[in-house]
A = this chain, B = another copy of it.
Amino acid sequence: MLIVAALGGNALLRRGQRLDQSVQQRNIDAAVRSLAGLASDHRLVITHGNGPQVGLLALAQEAYRDATPYSLDVLGSETQGMIGYLVEEAMREALPAREVATLLTQVMVDPADPAFAHPTKRIGPGYTEVEARRLIAERGWMVARDGVAYRRIVASPAPQRILEMAAIRLLVEHDVTVICAGGGGVPVAADPSGAWRGVEAVIDKDYTAALLAREIHADLLLLLTDVDAVQLHWGASEARKIHMATPLTLRREQFAEGTMAPKVEAACRFVESTGHRAAIGSLDQAGAILRGLAGTNVVRDGITPMSFWPDTDGINL
């Protein structure tokens, strides 16, 4: 079986944790131990988020005054290097007999994507109003209020095409465990002259994972995070975990933007376009999710929902 596993940025560096290397290394070692069980029996492609890591690099370069800050696409490529290295090293330790490789990944976006007119992704640190005004004037940033602070916002355009697809496919076909598409891929666009240029945007990593999974004909898309299932009425007293659902039934519900909504949408897209299963769940239950014993399993419309789980504290949609 060929599995694409997407690791949430929070699985690698959790909210409130210090952005230290030792913290990140410990989290990645734990994440990879969870994934190693999959990689030993199946072909595996690993993608990952990079939000906290891009934030760290942005803060560091703001603190250093002797070079003009690098653009977001370059910072993204740096985090692909950093995280890819740490994941690859941990995977080589966990499964010494497997070949593992990290491919830098650029993803084409459409400059006419309506997302560019409505930036939604908050990135980087919080600023005062004075700082925010200066950054808008000096750098042409868009800045939005976020609680008491101001933060940069950028667009989140749809991933159109993974530019290194042929290389990824080749490695996967030859049983290499591939780490790629980190942070959703570095967004690039071709200008009318045919020149490729980085774009200051953030592609949703789960959407890129769904595209990647479709393009390499994966049998399963795993969207792994720090909660064990998608919930209906999350946070309310009548909250219920969803065992199993179809794109049709999931799309009738509302999920909070910024948390589960993109994962649900990514899972639906993969299932609709391939007929194969997607699942959303906790990284440390990756093995159980693979066997249909945990997580929220999304299967194609038309399949009669049945409980995958042995217990019954969740529901089928």
B residues less than 8 Å from A100 (CB atoms): 164
- Is B66 a contact of A195 with CB atoms below 8 Å? no
Q: Which of A15-23, A201-209, A219-227 contacts B (4 or more CB under 8 A)?
A: A15-23
The 3 closest A-B pairs by CB, nearest first: A81-B81, A77-B85, A101-B167
B residues less than 8 Å from A60 (CB atoms): 57, 60-61, 63-64, 67
- Give per-residue flags for A157-174: 1 if the beta carbon is below 8 A from chain B beta carbons, else 0: 000000110110011001
B residues less than 8 Å from A106 (CB atoms): 85, 88-89
Q: Sample 28 A-B pairs with CB under 8 A, ordered by A number.
A: A18-B68, A20-B67, A20-B68, A21-B68, A21-B74, A57-B78, A59-B64, A60-B64, A60-B67, A63-B64, A63-B65, A70-B82, A74-B86, A77-B84, A78-B79, A81-B84, A81-B104, A85-B106, A85-B198, A88-B104, A88-B106, A89-B106, A93-B196, A101-B103, A101-B104, A102-B103, A103-B103, A166-B174
Question: Chain A: how many interface residues by the 8 Å CB criterion?
Answer: 57
Shortest A135–chain B CB gap in Å is 17
> In the complex, what distance in Å separates the CA atom of A171 from the CA atom of B178?
13
This chain's copy number in the assembly: 2
> In the complex, what distance in Å separates the CA atom of A89 from the CA atom of B163?
10
A188 within 8 Å of B (CB atoms): yes
- Give per-residue flags for A41-83: 1 if the beta carbon is below 8 A from chain B beta carbons, else 0: 0000000000000001101111111111011011001111110
Listed in ascending order, the chain A residues whose CB lies under 8 Å from chain B are 18-22, 56-57, 59-68, 70-71, 73-74, 77-82, 84-86, 88-89, 92-93, 96, 99-104, 106, 163-164, 166-167, 170-171, 174, 176, 186, 188, 194-198
B residues less than 8 Å from A56 (CB atoms): 67
Residue on B with the closest CB to A73? B85
Shortest A264–chain B CB gap in Å is 30
- Is A64 a contact of B64 with CB atoms below 8 Å? yes
Q: Which of A65, A68, A74, A101 has the most CB of B within 10 A?
A: A101
> In the complex, what distance in Å separates the CA atom of A198 from the CA atom of B18?
21
Shortest A231–chain B CB gap in Å is 33
- Is B171 a contact of A167 with CB atoms below 8 Å? yes
> In the complex, what distance in Å separates the CA atom of A276 from the CA atom of B78?
35
Shortest A121–chain B CB gap in Å is 20
Partner of A166, one of B19, B99, B164: B99
